[in-house]
Amino acid sequence: MATIEEALEIEQIERDIFRGASTKTQLPRTFGGQVAGQALVSAVRTVDPRYQVHSLHGYFLRPGNPVEPTVYLVDRIRDGRSFCTRRVTGVQNGEAIFTMSASFHIGDEGPEHQDEMPVVPAPLDLPDAKTSMSPERLWAMREWEHWDIRTIPQEEVARRDGLAAQQQVWFRYRHELPDDPLFHVCTLAYMSDMTLLGSSKVIHPDEPTQNASLDHAMWFLRSFRADDWLLYDQQSPSAGFGRALTAGRIWNQRGELVAVVVQEGLIRNLREPGESFPPGTA
Protein backbone atom coordinates (compact mmCIF):
# COMPACT_ATOMS: atom_id res chain seq x y z
CA MET A 1 0.00 0.00 0.00
CA ALA A 2 0.98 3.67 -0.20
CA THR A 3 3.88 5.07 1.80
CA ILE A 4 3.21 8.18 3.88
CA GLU A 5 5.16 10.23 1.32
CA GLU A 6 2.74 9.03 -1.38
CA ALA A 7 -0.33 9.51 0.83
CA LEU A 8 0.58 13.15 1.58
CA GLU A 9 1.69 14.06 -1.95
CA ILE A 10 0.01 17.18 -3.34
CA GLU A 11 0.41 19.14 -6.56
CA GLN A 12 0.06 22.93 -6.72
CA ILE A 13 -2.20 23.83 -9.65
CA GLU A 14 -2.78 27.52 -8.80
CA ARG A 15 -1.54 29.98 -6.16
CA ASP A 16 -3.89 28.62 -3.45
CA ILE A 17 -5.27 25.52 -5.17
CA PHE A 18 -3.75 22.06 -4.70
CA ARG A 19 -4.57 18.54 -5.82
CA GLY A 20 -3.95 15.58 -3.56
CA ALA A 21 -2.85 12.27 -5.00
CA SER A 22 -5.17 9.27 -4.98
CA THR A 23 -3.26 6.22 -3.78
CA LYS A 24 -3.61 2.47 -3.95
CA THR A 25 -6.12 1.42 -1.30
CA GLN A 26 -8.49 -1.34 -0.30
CA LEU A 27 -10.84 1.03 1.54
CA PRO A 28 -14.32 1.79 0.12
CA ARG A 29 -13.90 5.50 0.94
CA THR A 30 -10.93 7.79 1.39
CA PHE A 31 -9.22 7.39 4.78
CA GLY A 32 -10.03 10.48 6.85
CA GLY A 33 -6.45 10.85 8.02
CA GLN A 34 -5.27 11.13 4.42
CA VAL A 35 -7.74 13.92 3.69
CA ALA A 36 -6.75 15.79 6.87
CA GLY A 37 -3.05 15.27 6.17
CA GLN A 38 -3.27 16.47 2.56
CA ALA A 39 -5.34 19.48 3.63
CA LEU A 40 -2.70 20.40 6.19
CA VAL A 41 0.11 20.01 3.65
CA SER A 42 -1.82 22.37 1.37
CA ALA A 43 -2.13 24.95 4.14
CA VAL A 44 1.57 24.61 5.01
CA ARG A 45 2.52 25.39 1.41
CA THR A 46 0.93 28.85 1.72
CA VAL A 47 2.64 29.89 5.00
CA ASP A 48 6.08 31.38 5.62
CA PRO A 49 8.42 28.64 6.98
CA ARG A 50 9.00 30.70 10.14
CA TYR A 51 5.52 29.69 11.32
CA GLN A 52 4.79 26.25 12.77
CA VAL A 53 1.40 24.52 12.93
CA HIS A 54 -0.02 24.64 16.44
CA SER A 55 -3.64 23.56 15.88
CA LEU A 56 -6.21 22.37 13.38
CA HIS A 57 -9.96 21.86 13.45
CA GLY A 58 -11.64 19.84 10.71
CA TYR A 59 -15.05 18.45 9.73
CA PHE A 60 -15.60 15.39 7.55
CA LEU A 61 -18.61 16.39 5.43
CA ARG A 62 -18.97 13.59 2.89
CA PRO A 63 -17.22 10.28 2.25
CA GLY A 64 -14.41 10.68 -0.28
CA ASN A 65 -13.99 8.51 -3.36
CA PRO A 66 -10.57 6.83 -2.90
CA VAL A 67 -9.91 6.42 -6.63
CA GLU A 68 -10.34 10.13 -7.37
CA PRO A 69 -7.96 12.96 -6.39
CA THR A 70 -9.16 15.64 -3.98
CA VAL A 71 -8.72 19.33 -4.78
CA TYR A 72 -7.88 21.62 -1.85
CA LEU A 73 -8.84 25.30 -1.89
CA VAL A 74 -6.88 27.40 0.61
CA ASP A 75 -8.15 30.72 1.99
CA ARG A 76 -5.52 32.98 3.56
CA ILE A 77 -7.63 34.20 6.47
CA ARG A 78 -4.93 36.09 8.37
CA ASP A 79 -1.19 36.75 8.29
CA GLY A 80 -0.09 38.40 11.54
CA ARG A 81 3.20 39.00 13.28
CA SER A 82 2.84 35.95 15.57
CA PHE A 83 -0.04 33.94 14.09
CA CYS A 84 -1.28 32.89 10.64
CA THR A 85 -4.65 31.29 9.91
CA ARG A 86 -5.71 29.23 6.90
CA ARG A 87 -9.02 27.68 5.92
CA VAL A 88 -8.91 24.66 3.59
CA THR A 89 -11.78 23.00 1.74
CA GLY A 90 -11.33 19.57 0.16
CA VAL A 91 -13.49 19.10 -2.95
CA GLN A 92 -14.45 16.14 -5.11
CA ASN A 93 -16.85 16.44 -8.09
CA GLY A 94 -17.75 20.00 -7.10
CA GLU A 95 -18.79 19.06 -3.55
CA ALA A 96 -16.95 19.75 -0.31
CA ILE A 97 -15.96 16.55 1.48
CA PHE A 98 -13.80 18.16 4.19
CA THR A 99 -13.19 21.57 5.69
CA MET A 100 -10.43 22.60 8.06
CA SER A 101 -9.04 25.64 9.83
CA ALA A 102 -5.34 25.57 10.70
CA SER A 103 -3.41 28.03 12.85
CA PHE A 104 0.33 28.69 12.71
CA HIS A 105 2.51 30.39 15.33
CA ILE A 106 6.03 31.75 15.72
CA GLY A 107 7.14 30.28 19.05
CA ASP A 108 7.37 32.65 22.03
CA GLU A 109 8.81 32.35 25.54
CA GLY A 110 6.39 31.60 28.41
CA PRO A 111 5.61 29.39 31.43
CA GLU A 112 5.80 25.63 30.87
CA HIS A 113 4.05 22.62 32.43
CA GLN A 114 2.58 19.28 31.34
CA ASP A 115 0.83 16.21 32.77
CA GLU A 116 2.82 13.09 33.54
CA MET A 117 2.93 10.31 31.00
CA PRO A 118 1.05 7.13 32.06
CA VAL A 119 3.17 4.17 33.15
CA VAL A 120 2.58 1.51 30.49
CA PRO A 121 4.45 -1.45 28.99
CA ALA A 122 7.25 -0.44 26.62
CA PRO A 123 6.40 -0.83 22.91
CA LEU A 124 9.06 -3.49 22.31
CA ASP A 125 7.59 -5.54 25.17
CA LEU A 126 4.41 -5.90 23.10
CA PRO A 127 4.11 -8.18 20.06
CA ASP A 128 4.43 -6.72 16.58
CA ALA A 129 1.00 -6.78 14.95
CA LYS A 130 2.51 -8.50 11.92
CA THR A 131 3.25 -11.54 14.09
CA SER A 132 0.29 -11.47 16.48
CA MET A 133 -2.80 -10.67 14.39
CA SER A 134 -5.11 -13.21 12.82
CA PRO A 135 -4.74 -13.52 9.04
CA GLU A 136 -8.12 -11.82 8.57
CA ARG A 137 -7.19 -8.85 10.78
CA LEU A 138 -3.73 -8.63 9.23
CA TRP A 139 -5.30 -8.44 5.76
CA ALA A 140 -7.56 -5.59 6.93
CA MET A 141 -4.55 -3.71 8.32
CA ARG A 142 -2.61 -3.90 5.03
CA GLU A 143 -3.70 -0.29 4.45
CA TRP A 144 -1.27 0.75 7.20
CA GLU A 145 1.45 -1.84 6.60
CA HIS A 146 4.15 0.85 6.87
CA TRP A 147 3.10 1.59 10.46
CA ASP A 148 4.05 -0.40 13.55
CA ILE A 149 0.91 -0.26 15.72
CA ARG A 150 0.92 -2.08 19.08
CA THR A 151 -2.23 -1.92 21.22
CA ILE A 152 -1.71 -2.37 24.96
CA PRO A 153 -3.92 -5.21 26.27
CA GLN A 154 -6.89 -3.92 28.26
CA GLU A 155 -5.66 -5.65 31.43
CA GLU A 156 -2.39 -3.66 31.20
CA VAL A 157 -3.87 -0.23 30.44
CA ALA A 158 -2.85 2.44 32.98
CA ARG A 159 -6.33 3.25 34.25
CA ARG A 160 -7.56 6.49 35.75
CA ASP A 161 -10.53 6.48 38.12
CA GLY A 162 -13.85 7.65 36.77
CA LEU A 163 -13.11 7.29 33.06
CA ALA A 164 -15.74 5.38 31.09
CA ALA A 165 -13.50 3.88 28.38
CA GLN A 166 -9.75 3.85 27.85
CA GLN A 167 -7.35 2.51 25.23
CA GLN A 168 -3.59 2.93 24.81
CA VAL A 169 -1.64 2.35 21.61
CA TRP A 170 2.05 2.64 20.75
CA PHE A 171 2.78 3.50 17.12
CA ARG A 172 5.58 4.64 14.83
CA TYR A 173 6.31 4.79 11.13
CA ARG A 174 8.47 1.78 10.25
CA HIS A 175 10.86 3.66 7.94
CA GLU A 176 13.04 6.72 8.44
CA LEU A 177 11.27 9.95 7.47
CA PRO A 178 12.68 13.31 6.27
CA ASP A 179 13.95 15.65 8.99
CA ASP A 180 11.51 18.46 8.15
CA PRO A 181 9.45 18.99 11.38
CA LEU A 182 6.38 20.04 9.39
CA PHE A 183 6.41 16.71 7.55
CA HIS A 184 6.22 14.92 10.90
CA VAL A 185 3.31 17.15 11.95
CA CYS A 186 1.41 16.32 8.75
CA THR A 187 2.27 12.64 9.22
CA LEU A 188 0.81 12.72 12.73
CA ALA A 189 -2.32 14.46 11.42
CA TYR A 190 -2.68 11.49 9.04
CA MET A 191 -2.16 8.89 11.76
CA SER A 192 -4.19 10.56 14.51
CA ASP A 193 -7.44 9.44 12.85
CA MET A 194 -6.35 5.81 13.18
CA THR A 195 -7.53 3.83 16.27
CA LEU A 196 -8.98 6.84 18.17
CA LEU A 197 -12.66 6.12 17.52
CA GLY A 198 -11.94 2.53 18.58
CA SER A 199 -11.55 3.73 22.17
CA SER A 200 -15.33 4.19 22.25
CA LYS A 201 -15.82 0.51 21.37
CA VAL A 202 -13.64 -1.14 24.00
CA ILE A 203 -16.59 -1.44 26.42
CA HIS A 204 -19.02 -2.40 23.63
CA PRO A 205 -16.99 -5.07 21.82
CA ASP A 206 -19.92 -7.19 20.71
CA GLU A 207 -22.23 -4.44 19.49
CA PRO A 208 -22.10 -4.09 15.67
CA THR A 209 -22.00 -0.44 14.68
CA GLN A 210 -21.45 1.80 11.68
CA ASN A 211 -18.45 4.01 12.43
CA ALA A 212 -17.07 7.16 10.78
CA SER A 213 -15.14 10.26 11.82
CA LEU A 214 -17.28 13.40 12.02
CA ASP A 215 -14.87 16.06 13.21
CA HIS A 216 -11.26 16.21 14.31
CA ALA A 217 -9.22 18.73 16.30
CA MET A 218 -5.49 18.66 17.11
CA TRP A 219 -3.05 20.75 19.09
CA PHE A 220 0.68 20.32 18.47
CA LEU A 221 2.57 21.08 21.68
CA ARG A 222 6.20 20.00 21.28
CA SER A 223 8.45 18.73 18.52
CA PHE A 224 8.55 14.99 17.78
CA ARG A 225 9.37 12.43 15.13
CA ALA A 226 6.66 10.17 13.74
CA ASP A 227 9.27 7.48 13.01
CA ASP A 228 10.02 7.23 16.76
CA TRP A 229 7.65 5.49 19.17
CA LEU A 230 4.66 7.58 20.27
CA LEU A 231 2.09 6.60 22.91
CA TYR A 232 -1.52 7.39 22.01
CA ASP A 233 -3.38 7.52 25.35
CA GLN A 234 -7.07 7.49 24.39
CA GLN A 235 -10.39 7.78 26.18
CA SER A 236 -14.07 8.09 25.31
CA PRO A 237 -15.87 10.17 27.94
CA SER A 238 -19.31 9.81 26.37
CA ALA A 239 -21.30 7.93 23.74
CA GLY A 240 -24.97 8.24 22.89
CA PHE A 241 -27.50 9.16 20.21
CA GLY A 242 -25.33 7.48 17.57
CA ARG A 243 -22.22 9.55 18.31
CA ALA A 244 -19.13 9.04 20.46
CA LEU A 245 -16.74 11.66 21.80
CA THR A 246 -13.10 10.58 21.99
CA ALA A 247 -9.88 12.25 23.09
CA GLY A 248 -6.23 11.30 22.92
CA ARG A 249 -2.94 12.54 24.31
CA ILE A 250 0.23 11.67 22.41
CA TRP A 251 3.57 11.27 24.19
CA ASN A 252 7.08 10.50 23.02
CA GLN A 253 9.27 7.97 24.82
CA ARG A 254 10.95 10.74 26.83
CA GLY A 255 7.62 11.44 28.51
CA GLU A 256 6.99 14.69 26.64
CA LEU A 257 3.39 15.50 25.75
CA VAL A 258 3.64 16.33 22.04
CA ALA A 259 0.01 16.55 20.86
CA VAL A 260 -3.62 16.37 21.97
CA VAL A 261 -6.51 15.17 19.79
CA VAL A 262 -10.29 15.41 20.22
CA GLN A 263 -12.68 13.71 17.82
CA GLU A 264 -16.38 13.00 17.61
CA GLY A 265 -17.41 10.04 15.51
CA LEU A 266 -20.46 8.26 14.21
CA ILE A 267 -21.09 5.07 16.20
CA ARG A 268 -24.65 4.02 15.51
CA ASN A 269 -26.26 0.62 15.58
CA LEU A 270 -26.37 -1.31 12.33
CA ARG A 271 -29.86 -1.59 10.96
CA GLU A 272 -31.55 -4.84 10.06
CA PRO A 273 -31.02 -6.19 6.51
CA GLY A 274 -33.17 -4.21 4.12
CA GLU A 275 -33.03 -1.11 6.34
CA SER A 276 -29.50 -0.02 5.49
CA PHE A 277 -28.62 3.64 5.21
CA PRO A 278 -28.56 5.11 1.71
CA PRO A 279 -25.10 4.81 0.09
CA GLY A 280 -22.83 7.76 0.75
CA THR A 281 -24.90 9.16 3.63
CA ALA A 282 -24.02 9.54 7.31
Model confidence over 7-19: pLDDT tens digits?
999 999 999 999 9
* Cα 121 to Cα 203: distance, rounded to the nearest angstrom: 21
Instruction: Note if 223 is an active site residue.
Output: no
On the question of pLDDT at 89 being above 90, the answer is yes
* Cα 277 to Cα 211: distance, rounded to the nearest angstrom: 12
Give me the pLDDT at residue 270, please: 84
pLDDT-derived band at 274 (thresholds 50, 70, 90) equals: very low
Residue 54, φ and ψ in degrees, nearest 5: -120, -15
Look at the chain and report how many structural domains it folds into: 1
- Is 282 domain-assigned? no
Average pLDDT, the chain: 93
- Is 277 domain-assigned? no
Active-site hit among 38, 166, 192, 213? 213
Active-site hit among 34, 168, 193, 200? 193
Q: How many beta carbons lie within 10 A of that of residue 206, not counting itself?
A: 5
pLDDT-derived band at 85 (thresholds 50, 70, 90) equals: very high
31 contacts 193 by C-beta, under 8 angstroms:
yes
Give me the pLDDT at residue 273, please: 54
Which of 21-30, 76-85, 91-100, 218-227 shows the lowest per-residue confidence on average (mean pLDDT)? 21-30
The CATH number of whichever domain residue 52 belongs to comes to: 2.40.160.210
Q: Which residues contact 48 (CB under 8 A, 6 or more apart)?
A: 84
On the question of pLDDT at 169 being above 50, the answer is yes
- Is 98 domain-assigned? yes
- Is 103 domain-assigned? yes
90 contacts 34 by C-beta, under 8 angstroms:
no
How much is the average pLDDT of 196-223? 94
Give me the pLDDT at residue 138, please: 72
Digit-coded pLDDT (tens) for 224-238 = 999 999 999 999 999
Give me the pLDDT at residue 136, please: 67
Give me the pLDDT at residue 231, please: 98
How much is the average pLDDT of 148-168? 95
* Cα 41 to Cα 49: distance, rounded to the nearest angstrom: 12
Q: Which residues contact 53 (CB under 8 A, 6 or more apart)?
A: 40, 43, 44, 102, 103, 104, 182, 185, 220
Instruction: State which residues form the domain around 30.
Output: 4-107+122-269
Digit-coded pLDDT (tens) for 42-74 = 999 999 999 999 999 999 999 999 999 999 999
How much is the average pLDDT of 182-196? 96
- Is 188 domain-assigned? yes
Residue 163, φ and ψ in degrees, nearest 5: -85, 135
pLDDT-derived band at 37 (thresholds 50, 70, 90) equals: very high
Give me the pLDDT at residue 277, please: 41
* Cα 195 to Cα 29: distance, rounded to the nearest angstrom: 17
Instruction: Note if 193 is an active site residue.
Output: yes
* Cα 279 to Cα 244: distance, rounded to the nearest angstrom: 22
- Is 196 domain-assigned? yes
Instruction: Note if 108 is an active site residue.
Output: no
- Is 225 domain-assigned? yes
Q: How many percent of the chain have pLDDT more than 70?
A: 94
- Is 258 domain-assigned? yes
Q: Which residues contact 122 (CB under 8 A, 6 or more apart)?
A: none
48 contacts 88 by C-beta, under 8 angstroms:
no
